């Protein structure tokens, strides 16, 4: 894994949580077990895969580490057995989803920065890593992606990535910058969930008809 050990542990927790929430989405769409497994893998690993493809980074993370497929696919299938109890853990999974967002963002930024990419590409890589898996999940479930529904989701990712890059550029200690960026990004996402903060919507009505 390209990340430091504590970040790697958070990454594993995040992909498991993402796979399990995707499995619940698959269940709501009455998918079979293969669909549950595939949706879990796509959601958990899709953002990183799209990032690697766009950056020309090979092999893809799950090709380099096939255990990620086993972990995410296994977590998705395990969700089938405990799905009836999952509503008790809704807040836990919302929290883990927010943690996953900032962890994926920092990992994406770190990888792009290591490849010498411009700042805007570094931040975009972080956002792609953090958000695209959920977009793929929603598209496969025929839903409007959460990213496009006024949620402060991509915004939290961009804030996390921007703070991380700014701190790195300022020459501040890496671990302190990473921790601060993740805490602030996580706080923004959790506050948005708690108080219903949303981005302004664009509403257009064709007055000619």
For 55-67, what is the mean pLDDT?
A: 95
Q: Which of 66-75, 111-120, 138-147, 196-205 has the lowest mean pLDDT?
A: 196-205
Spatial distance between the Cα atoms of 137 and 22, rounded to a whole number of angstroms? 7
Handedness of CA 107, 120, 128, 17 (dihedral sign): positive
Rounded to whole angstroms, what are the CA distances from 132 to 1, 179, 207?
20, 23, 35
Q: Write down the mean pLDDT value for the chain.
A: 91
pLDDT range class, residue 149, cuts 50, 70, 90: confident
Domain spans, the chain: 5-195
pLDDT range class, residue 2, cuts 50, 70, 90: very low
pLDDT score of 209 more than 60 = no
pLDDT range class, residue 1, cuts 50, 70, 90: very low
Phi-psi region of 203 (alpha: psi -120 to 50; beta: other; left: phi over 0): beta
What residues contact 128, with CB distance under 8 A and at least 6 apart?
47, 50, 51, 54, 108
What residues contact 45, with CB distance under 8 A and at least 6 apart?
15, 61, 62, 68, 69, 72, 133
For 76-81, what is the mean pLDDT?
A: 94
pLDDT score of 162 more than 50 = yes
pLDDT score of 208: 56
pLDDT score of 52 more than 80 = yes
pLDDT score of 144: 84
pLDDT range class, residue 199, cuts 50, 70, 90: confident
Q: What is the pTM of this model?
A: 0.91
Spatial distance between the Cα atoms of 134 and 124, rounded to a whole number of angstroms? 16
pLDDT score of 42 more than 90 = yes
pLDDT range class, residue 169, cuts 50, 70, 90: very high
């Amino acid at each position: 894994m390209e990340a430091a050990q504590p970040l790697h542990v958070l990454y594993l927790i995040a992909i498991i949580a993402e796979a399990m929430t995707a499995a619940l989405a698959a269940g709501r769409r009455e998918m079979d077990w293969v669909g549950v497994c595939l949706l879990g893998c796509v959601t958990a690993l899709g953002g990183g895969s799209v990032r690697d493809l766009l950056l020309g980074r090979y092999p893809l993370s799950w090709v380099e580490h096939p255990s990620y497929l086993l972990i995410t696919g296994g977590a998705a299938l395990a969700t089938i057995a405990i799905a009836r109890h999952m509503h008790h853990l809704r807040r836990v999974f919302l929290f883990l989803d927010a943690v996953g967002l900032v962890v994926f963002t920092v990992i994406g930024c770190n990888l792009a920065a290591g490849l010498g990419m411009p700042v805007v590409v570094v931040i975009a890589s972080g956002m792609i890593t953090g958000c695209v898996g959920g977009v793929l999940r929603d598209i496969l479930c025929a839903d409007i992606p959460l990213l496009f529904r006024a949620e402060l989701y991509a915004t939290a990712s961009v804030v996390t990535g921007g703070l991380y890059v700014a701190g790195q550029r300022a020459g501040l200690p890496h671990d302190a910058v990473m921790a601060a960026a993740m805490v602030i990004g996580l706080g923004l996402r959790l506050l948005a969930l708690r108080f219903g903060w949303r981005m302004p919507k664009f509403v257009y009505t064709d007055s000619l008809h």
